[in-house]
Amino acid sequence: QLLVDLVRDFETTLRNTRIPDTNEFLPEYDFIIVGAGSAGCVLANRLSEISSARVLLLEAGDQETFISDVPLTAALTQTTRYNWGYKTEPTPNACQGLRNGVCNWPKGRGVGGTSLINFMLYTRGHRRDYDGWAAANNTGWSYAEVLPYFKKSERIGIPELYKSPYHGRKGALDVQYADYQSRQVKAFLKSGRELGYDITDTNGEQLLGFSRAQANIRQGRRCSTSKAFIQPIVQRRNLHISMKSWVTKLLIDPSTKMAVGVEFVKQRQRFVVRASKEVILSAGAIASAQLLMLSGVGPRAHLQELNITVLQDLPVGYNLQDHVTLNGLVFMVNDSTVNDARLLNPTDIFSYLFAGRGPYTIPGGAEAFAFVRTPSSSYAADYADMELVLGAGSLSGDRFGTLRDLLGITNEFYEKMYADMQHEETFGLVPVLLRPKSRGRISLRSRNPFHWPRMEPNFMQEPDDVRAMIEGIEMILQIAHSKSMKKIGTRFHARAFPGCEQHPFGGQDYWRCCLRLYGSSLQHQCGTCKMGPSTDPAAVVDPQLRVHGIHHLRVADASIMPHVPAGHTNAIVIMIAEKASDMIKNAWRMQTKPVTT
């Protein structure tokens, strides 16, 4: 860690991007933002655009380093202090065969939050996801109303999309393709055509289809929300950023039910800072729910069990949703693929370091995806319920174990499945359940803010989730058998997953067993502070993201999503924060100019 710090200091001195860390605080700010993650960085930028507004951004972690910059090695970041490293409770229908029988839930800690450690894939979901939010009386959240906010933050760097009405060119967040493309991508896209799908811009008119992966990359390097929204504005004098500042409680006046400030710990010292206008909670789907409950906002009976004075009885922590996946489906191919051994060559390393080019620019190793509809889906014909992600390499090429660490895959599993295929060229295909019906929960384990909360994923409790996953796996095998994929010599590595050998290979019971043992998360936890009108008994915040029953307190992050859209969640969270910023400016009559993008 010392070495990392030294190199980081050197690097930030050279590039002049060090984020000034405030140690002296004003007694009062207009806005206090808790958590400098995907959402918090956007809010800090937009609110501090108003020069008269005094803004404090509090973040438990530190500034990002060069280590998280390399798109291909995103999994490596999980082993650093930039990951909270959450683990869930055991859950009956998933993760049972992973390390300690639980699911890994990595989450980013540092300015940039989970955008520092994620896989950078840029997707938004289906227009009906947002029309569904609006239909549930969340006024202002229809697709037509959120699209301008997606475009506002985006700087599309894909020339054929420059003129698309779905993309923005003037935002701070870069969206590009990786510089490198393997032959598997071309075959994969062709197989989509064979199966009757279009090649699409999945962030454009139509979600259903096959496409190359769009990602938050700038000149071949990760474009985190820190790089996009914070580093360019560190000189703003009305924005104070305090790192290594762990917020322990929101201060809410019990008589007026008004949020008046926050309490946090920095360098073992306790601070209390007041907010004259609003406290904005952007600590992510796990910590935002935890902080609300620690501060007396949550389910009455649960808070009373822990002797927490109840200020507002709300269903905080319920409605937890996530996209479920299954890793380990490996395919051999007669072509070169991306694996740990191949990457250690000077040409690729120098090409990346000096030009930001080559295979190291592949975001998290994911090259392309297909948004498809499973055969028994009950959703409308244009509504994808499954995503299939094409990897440039596969789990079998993970010689150094970073992917195993991220996914919680045991060494025994790896040895049994892949040890004898070290010289094979392989790629992976991963199914992702886009419309999970199962719901999990975050609750408190104790009143201690430094203890992790209890995380119950409840993945695949609903039979329809298992059905869709099995059909997704079968669609993957269909793709592998397509003419285009056969042309490059694609063969499925048909070896039974350890613990499932007793079932006939490839049958429904076999896949059910694989999902129970190795099914896990794509890390899109959300929904724990659900948005909904006051008539919705499951809602925690209203459509303006204000906590029901508490004044001057909003939540703006992944936790407010009523239903998880059919997309990776980072862009969605950024859109939420853009929209929240405008709501806050409007509420305090501080709007600079309306969004017209």
- Only one of the segments 109-117, 138-146, 195-203, 335-343 lies at the binding site for ligand FAD (rule: CB under 6 A); that segment is 109-117
- Only one of the segments 32-40, 89-97, 318-326, 381-389 lies at the binding site for ligand FAD (rule: CB under 6 A); that segment is 32-40
- Only one of the segments 127-135, 503-511, 533-541, 570-578 lies at the binding site for ligand FAD (rule: CB under 6 A); that segment is 570-578
Helix, strand, coil tally for the chain in percent (to 5): 35, 20, 45
Q: Which of 524, 548, 552, 563 is labelled catalytic?
A: 524
Site string for ligand FAD, 284-303 (x = CB under 6 A): xx-x---x------------
Positive or negative: CA dihedral 206, 208, 210, 212 = positive
Residue number with CB closer to ligand FAD (44 or 311): 44
Nearest distance in Å: CB 52, ligand FAD: 26
Residue 345, judged by CB atoms within 10 A of its CB (0-12, 13-18, 19+), counts as: exposed
Distance, in Å, from the CA atom of 414 to the CA atom of 340, rounded to the nearest integer, reads 15
Q: Please identify which residue in 154, 385, 557, 582 interacts with ligand FAD, judged by CB under 6 A.
A: 557
Tokens matching residue 110: 């540092």
In 392-533, beta strands by DSSP E: 426-433, 441-443, 454-456, 491-492, 519-521
In contact, 532 and 138? CB cutoff 8 Å: yes
Distance, in Å, from the CA atom of 539 to the CA atom of 563, rounded to the nearest integer, reads 12
Report the candidate in 324, 568, 344, 405 with the shortest Cα–Cα distance to residue 77: 405
Q: Would you say 65 is a known binding-site residue?
A: no
Residue with tokens 């933002």: 33
Tokens matching residue 414: 């790896």
Residue number with CB closer to ligand FAD (96 or 570): 570
In Å, what is the CA distance from 419 to each residue of 145, 422, 573? 51, 6, 39
- The reply to whether 568 belongs to the active site is yes
Site string for ligand FAD, 335-374 (x = CB under 6 A): -----------------------------x----------
Does 282 sit near ligand FAD (CB under 6 A)?
Answer: yes
B/e letters for 429-447, b = 16+ CB within 10 Å, e = fewer, are bbbbbbbbebbbbbbbeee
Does 59 sit near ligand FAD (CB under 6 A)?
Answer: yes
Q: Please identify which residue in 45, 72, 98, 109 interacts with ligand FAD, judged by CB under 6 A.
A: 109
Total of chain residues touching ligand FAD, rule CB under 6 A: 41
In Å, what is the CA distance from 308 to each residue of 387, 435, 447? 42, 35, 8
Q: Would you say 88 is a known binding-site residue?
A: no
Subset of residues 214 to 253 that bind ligand FAD, contact rule: CB under 6 A: 246-247
Q: Please identify which residue in 71, 97, 108, 328 interacts with ligand FAD, judged by CB under 6 A.
A: 108
- Only one of the segments 62-70, 479-487, 501-509, 565-573 lies at the binding site for ligand FAD (rule: CB under 6 A); that segment is 565-573
Does 119 sit near ligand FAD (CB under 6 A)?
Answer: yes
Does 153 sit near ligand FAD (CB under 6 A)?
Answer: no
In contact, 25 and 55? CB cutoff 8 Å: no
Q: Please identify which residue in 120, 250, 314, 550 interacts with ligand FAD, judged by CB under 6 A.
A: 120
In contact, 444 and 293? CB cutoff 8 Å: yes
| Contacts to ligand FAD by CB under 6 A | 34-40, 58-61, 106-109, 113-115, 117-121, 246-247, 282-285, 287, 291, 364, 523-524, 557-558, 568-571, 573
Q: Which residues are identified as catalytic?
A: 524, 568
